Amino acid sequence: MQGYFEVGIFQPNNDPNIGVLWRSAYQLGAAGIFTIGGRSRRMHTDVFHSAYHIPLRHYQTFEDFLVARPEGARLVGIEMGGQPLSQFVHPAQAIYLLGSETNGLPSRILSACNAVIALEAVQRASYNVATAGSIVLYHRQFLQQSYPRKENPEDFKNP
């Protein structure tokens, strides 16, 4: 799939998760990663030195993020209760946003998303934030390409 995508975490509370997500984002072709709220440092879990390949940006507030959001990129929230990932068709231009493991994404942010997706599970659909982001990016880059479907505009809303 051609296009542009990034992934980020709203109010992350675990620096190693940012490092793992950064590494996965680099491996799976993301243009960059970001955090909203909080602060993070260089990650020891990043053995590929992803910082030399794709950027990590920090936004103090969700509003700061919205101002910097690439034009035309759809905001896709990743949260329990959303549309099942297996049924989701990724847009060509996407920004994926995860919430912290403690609090998830607040309702005000979910309502600003163009789509909200959820990961299915055999047991309980609750994943580590870096794992959840990595699964979504893998689905975008490899699984959707293997089983392509057309994007349905009704899957996305305009907040």
Strand order in the sheet with 115-118: 56-59, 32-36, 4-10, 93-99, 74-84, 115-118
pLDDT at 53: 75
Rounded to the nearest 5°, which phi and psi values hold at 64?
-60, -40
pLDDT tens, 75-86?
999 999 999 999
**Dihedral over Cα of 17, 23, 28, 29: its sign:** positive
Write the CB contacts of 61 (distance below 8 Å, at least 6 apart in sequence).
36, 37
pLDDT tens, 42-98?
555 555 555 667 899 999 999 999 999 999 999 999 999 999 999 999 999 999 999
User: 101 pLDDT exceeds 90?
Assistant: no
| Res. 38 pLDDT band, cuts 50 70 90 | confident
Global pTM reads: 0.85
Average pLDDT over residues 7-11: 96
Domains and CATH numbers, the chain: 4-154 (3.40.1280.10)
